[in-house]
Amino acid sequence: MKSLFFTEEHELFRSSLQDFFQAEVMPQINKWEDEGKTDRTILKKMGEMGFLGLEVEEKYGGMGLDFMYTCILMEEMGRTGSAGFSTVVSAHSYLAMNYLIHAGSDLIKEKYLIPSVMGEKIGSLSMTEPFAGSDVRSLRTTARREGDYYYVDGSKTFISNGYYGDYTVAAVQTESGISMMVIDLEAEGVMRTKLDKVGIRSSDTAELAFNNVKVPVENLLGQEGKGFYYMMESLQVERLTGVQSNLGLMKYVLDITIQYMSERKAFGRSINQFQALRHEIAEMGSELAALEAFTYLTSYRLTQGDSVVKECSMLKLKTGDFVNELVYRCQQMFGGYGFMEEYPIGRIYRDVRVIPVYGGTSEIMKEIIAKILIDKKEYKPVYK
């Protein structure tokens, strides 16, 4: 399967990532969970290795690589078993930075993209509001222009990297409609409140309040009034990278479950010899293999420039549901130990519940798919 979509260079990159994560991430996961944040020095190290700017042009400090390298990065981050760590990196590189790459001016790229690639600045994406989640057309955060500045008022919630990050790419209502702009989180009038979540605790999540925040006009991304279309374009990358991470996480969970089953004994033999449990693994492994093939194919098609809105929505829907099912079924294999903090399966059980919610709920995914299949809706690229 891998040989169809990944070259020898891709696999060498995968090996280097695995070594890096084994040395720099795995020993820190429990500490980051306890502290409620991922140490930003890991992003600095990833930036130095080039991991944060895989597709970014070299003149902006990136590697200029194809999207299949991103597929590998996200999958291997998922295989660390830490959804929090994966969320911190993906919110930075594939939510915030994605807008800088495609809609940012040269000035924006110099000021925000280059330090983001190096891990010196950490970004977030501010779309969701207390009264506007999936319905982005109902955004209430406003930006009124006065001369060379916008003045922003409103609030955003559930913002990954919003508490410890440096800037946010925010969707706001301007005179021309929804627009996207970069807001420095240290700017006067910005208030951050850290939210206390059930899971994914090593990824900070914040509510942001903007009170007459002064933002230079040069921080506008692309054209005023085009924000809704930029969001629709970027969401397929956001969802697909999330799917890739889900894929890695499911592989990790299945691996540690099979390992545990080989060690745990009951009635005089390892529990991996009981037919009922063996067949559970066979079923989950089969479904996971199908999702892997669909994910790799969709990732490859995106690399070729195809529009994959339907496929990304389908994958977000199916992996969001199946990661919860797989973790639940695997946790059962651990018996009482699956409910103990010392076993990662318990933490992962808490983490995955939100996956069918963020980045667009399963219900929204179904509606997007239905519009394409039934109403023949077409989604066309807007950045170019």
Catalytic residues: 238
Which 8-state DSSP code applies to residue 132?
B
Rounded CA separation 228/303 (Å): 23
Residues 6+ apart with CB under 8 A from 103: 180, 221, 222, 230, 383
Rounded CA separation 259/111 (Å): 47
Instruction: Give the count of beta carbons closer than 10 Å to the beta carbon of residue 356.
Output: 20
Which 8-state DSSP code applies to residue 39?
-
Q: Which residues pair with 156 in a beta bridge?
A: 208
Give the strand pairing for 177-184 and 167-174: antiparallel
Rounded CA separation 131/173 (Å): 14
Q: Report, in this order, helix, strand and coil percent for the chain, each rounded to 5.
A: 55, 15, 30
Rounded CA separation 341/359 (Å): 28
Rounded CA separation 280/330 (Å): 9
Which 8-state DSSP code applies to residue 282?
H
Element (H, E) at 151: strand 149-160
Rounded CA separation 35/84 (Å): 12
What are the CA-CA distances from residue 179 to residues 34, 174, 224, 278 (Å)? 37, 6, 5, 53
Instruction: Give the count of beta carbons closer than 10 Å to the beta carbon of residue 314.
Output: 21
Which 8-state DSSP code applies to residue 92?
I
